Amino acid sequence: MTEHSKHLSFYERPNVVSAILPIGEGIPMGIEKAYNADLGIGGAYGSWGKSYSNAQLTPFVGERMGAALNESEILNLSELGFNSRQHIPLLDSKEHLALELEVGSRLLKEAMKAMNWDASEIGGVLIGMSGPVNDDYVREISRRAGIPESALKVSVHKACDGSMGALHLALNPSLSPKGEVNVAEELRGKKILVGGIEGLSRFTASARDTNALQLFGNGMGVIGLIPDKNMKLLTGKTFENYDKDGLLAVRMYYPHLNSNPYQGSLVDVMQESADHIRISGLMNEPKNGASIEMAGLMGMVKLFVRTGVQVVEEVYREYCTLMDRLGESRKSVTLGIVHHANYKINALKAKHLSKLGIEFPIPWVVDDFGNVSAASNVIAFLRKLPEIKLGDHILLDGFGAGTYYDVMVVSVGE
């Protein structure tokens, strides 16, 4: 983080286009576009709600909790890599739905503008969401954005891994179950939109967990790309490991058919209609009916670091083997786009990987959003997009509650 950027709220960035949405007393929203002409890849990202600095957040959380925070409950958020994030006021269910349909459809429209694509050209929309505001969210925002009914819509509910799970599904034909629509084969060569949209201020409004209320905020991001043309999968791995201890318990606001975490996959694949597939990850849910419950920051480290390092190592070793086989052993991973759970988790993962002889840049660039779950990888990618060069190899590392991991190395540009 630069000294300049860490004091800016997202809305103060020079290229952010802001608006006030006429819902409740008026909800601020901002979107920024990015495009790399050499790669033919671009997109849009943003947030909605009032921007709170770390200092402003403490009384806001106290208000949500109904009592001021104790000194011991106040997190050192700048040390965790966060300096501001966006929250909305309390709204009723109709207002929440109207708000998130508006921000989601606007995001898709801006991403298409960044790509100079017409809505009629879109072949697929894949969105990761931890707690969707309604079951048909992806279909509805696509319809509002003018995208054809025939375009394949995929809703991915794997907590913070949702957007990377969606991207992996779009690039890797081996991930689709036999007998189901093969998403990667269906979308190969088509213009698609992939991302994450997370209304976490709504999601955490009913939480009684002070850590969750301080860490999470609203965020969204969508990338426009053409699978196997300007983004190609080199190697990847998806992994699931049930969080039996409930270190990060999350309520499932979506259908899931399997309640037994020890029988079969944790992930349900449901073909809900000809144009809509739902990927639902089983969660260890809070026992008190709350939306989210955390076992503290060390619980998150325990949950994500050990297994996360293992999955990244396996993918990286497979990548090196592939490069050797192709006679390109000097080729290396240029950049790692890792989910911004918090800075300490990413720094610790980087430290453990370094001990294994695996090193590549892992920039921390989402300091003005808080933890925005499935949106963070997409935002981080779009922020680094202007610096990425034709033919670069990028490692994308998604991980989320449940627990779910999608790690892949891709090449970018035609």
Q: What is the residue-wise DSSP string for 349-407?
A: HHHHHHHTT---------TTT-B-GGGHHHHHHHHHGGG--TT-EEEEEEEETTTEEEE
The first and second tokens of residue 171, run together, are 């690039």
User: How does pLDDT run across 126-174, given as a tens digit for each residue?
Assistant: 999 999 999 999 999 999 999 999 999 999 999 999 999 999 999 999 9
pLDDT of residue 414: 78
> In the structure, what pLDDT confidence band is assigned to residue 3 with cuts at 50, 70 and 90?
very low
User: How does pLDDT run across 355-378, given as a tens digit for each residue?
Assistant: 999 999 999 999 999 999 999 999
| CATH code at position 103 | 3.40.47.10
Q: In DSSP terms, which residues pair with 399 in a beta bridge? A: 405
Our count of domains for the chain comes to 1
User: How does pLDDT run across 6-15, given as a tens digit for each residue?
Assistant: 468 999 999 9
Q: Using CA atoms, how far apart are residues 130 and 159, in angstroms rounded to an integer?
A: 4
- Cα separations in angstroms, 235 against 66, 337, 408: 48, 15, 6
CA dihedral angle for residue 171, residue 177, residue 179, residue 181, rounded to 10 degrees: -30
Q: Report whether pLDDT(4) > 80.
A: no
Out of 5-19, 27-41, 105-119, 307-321, least confident range: 5-19
Q: Report whether pLDDT(197) > 60.
A: yes
Contact of 394 with 382, CB cutoff 8 Å: no
User: How does pLDDT run across 310-354, given as a tens digit for each residue?
Assistant: 999 999 999 999 999 999 999 999 999 999 999 999 999 999 999
The first and second tokens of residue 370, run together, are 């808080």
The residues, ordered by sequence, that sit 6+ positions from 330 with a Cβ below 8 Å of its Cβ are none
pLDDT over 90 percentage in the chain: 91
Range of the structural domain that residue 55 is part of: 5-412
pLDDT of residue 195: 98
User: How does pLDDT run across 206-255, given as a tens digit for each residue?
Assistant: 888 999 999 999 999 999 999 999 999 999 999 999 999 999 999 999 99
Q: What is the mean pLDDT of residues 404-413?
A: 98
Q: What is the mean pLDDT of residues 264-273?
A: 92
The residue ranking higher by pLDDT, 387 or 298, is 387
pTM of the complete model: 0.97
Mean pLDDT of the chain: 95
pLDDT of residue 7: 67
| Beta pairing class for 84-87 and 248-250 | unpaired
pLDDT of residue 268: 93
> In the structure, what pLDDT confidence band is assigned to residue 270 with cuts at 50, 70 and 90?
very high
Q: Report whether pLDDT(52) > 90.
A: yes
Q: Report whether pLDDT(1) > 50.
A: no
Q: What is the mean pLDDT of residues 12-27?
A: 97
User: How does pLDDT run across 65-107, given as a tens digit for each residue?
Assistant: 999 999 999 999 999 999 999 999 999 999 999 999 999 999 9
